[in-house]
Amino acid sequence: MLKIGLLGAGRIGQVHAAAISAHPDSVLAAVSDVYVPAAEALATPYDAAVKSSDEIIADSAIDAVLVATSTDTHSDLIEAATRAGKAVLCEKPVDLSLARARVCLANAEQTGQPVMVGFNRRFDPNFALIKAGLAAGEIGKAELLSITSFDPAPPPVSYIKVSGGLFRDMMIHDFDMANFIMGEAPVSISATGSCVVDPEIGAAGDIDTAIVTLTYADGKLAVIKNSRRAGYGYDQRLEVLGADGLLQANNMLESSVVKSTIDGVVSAKPTYFFLERYMPAYRAEWAAFVEAMQANNPMPVTLEDGVQALAMAEAAKQSLDTGKPVALADV
């Protein structure tokens, strides 16, 4: 039974606590949060201890830590936990600073401890089927990937201000998804973006709508579309055109009910909330982490993957700022 320390008791920490606890081979041993009552509220139903992050990392009875704190603490905590001999599952992004993330990667690698980055969408069964279908040659060699990723509604502007911006906060999932599906990183990234959803987001220095194009060494192409608002739900689709056909992952719908009247044929909307859509993915992500730890296998999503996606976000930001494509090798 793996004893897990959870750093961060916010919304995403709560999701992970449930997954840790539900897994037959892991137990939530301790929880920390800068706001102690939050840690207490989360720890109590799981019979977990409430400690500081430092205490958890120093606790030799803890086998692994799950880092679900604010982004600015990720690198430090990864370094501290790996130095302390613990396996780590850290939420995305690794850091807002690519340079810092790279230092973190180097330091963590020196410890030899396994670090996984929480790109939960890789564990969505639909996207995993696309990956498997490609690997099985169902549509031949991939040529053109298209990712549609719209949030149902924008987060508060206060969050936007500290989020690192759309590329680092939101599209980073899609950058990693492109790497996952394509099996390699692109060579060049070209971004366009604008603020059409909410001028407050623009005033906060961010964009809310973006199209980013990726080109690959062998000529493959990919495009990612992001919007902070698709009022009808959480629109998460992906399709890849290959030499022999097309693989598509469509949205999960709220129900299978269809109503036909004189006003039209009405189906259910895509699930609205990210947890509704990706809860199975969070559970599968945790199971994959546990399995890799137990088998001493490489993590299914590495810290390097996390840094790679961050580099792509950085390249996209540079491209947006300069109006020119940016070589990934140059960031």
The residue ranges that bind its own copies (CB under 8 A) are 125-126, 129-130, 133, 138-139, 141, 143-144, 146, 148, 150, 188, 190, 192-197, 209-211, 213, 215, 218-221, 223, 225, 227, 229-233, 235, 241, 243-253, 255-270, 323-325
Q: How far is the CB of 310 from its own copies (least distance, A)?
A: 22
* 96 vs 222, beta carbon nearer its own copies: 222
Alpha-carbon torsion, ordered 103, 301, 176, 275, to 10 deg: -120
Q: How far is the CB of 249 from its own copies (least distance, A)?
A: 5
Q: How far is the CB of 230 from its own copies (least distance, A)?
A: 6
Q: How far is the CB of 288 from its own copies (least distance, A)?
A: 18
Q: What is the three-class DSSP state of 135? A: helix
Whether 7 contacts 42, CB under 8 Å: no
* 105 vs 230, beta carbon nearer its own copies: 230
* 8 vs 242, beta carbon nearer its own copies: 242
Q: How many angstroms separate the CA atoms of 309 and 303, rounded? A: 10
- Please identify which residue in the block is written with the tokens 């169902």: 138
* 112 vs 264, beta carbon nearer its own copies: 264
Spatial neighbors of 178 by CB under 8 A, at least 6 apart, are 145, 147, 186, 214, 222, 224, 312
DSSP state, residue 328: G
Q: What angle do CA 129, 284, 62 make, to 5 degrees?
A: 150
* 61 vs 243, beta carbon nearer its own copies: 243
Q: How far is the CB of 93 from its own copies (least distance, A)?
A: 24
Whether 193 contacts 207, CB under 8 Å: yes
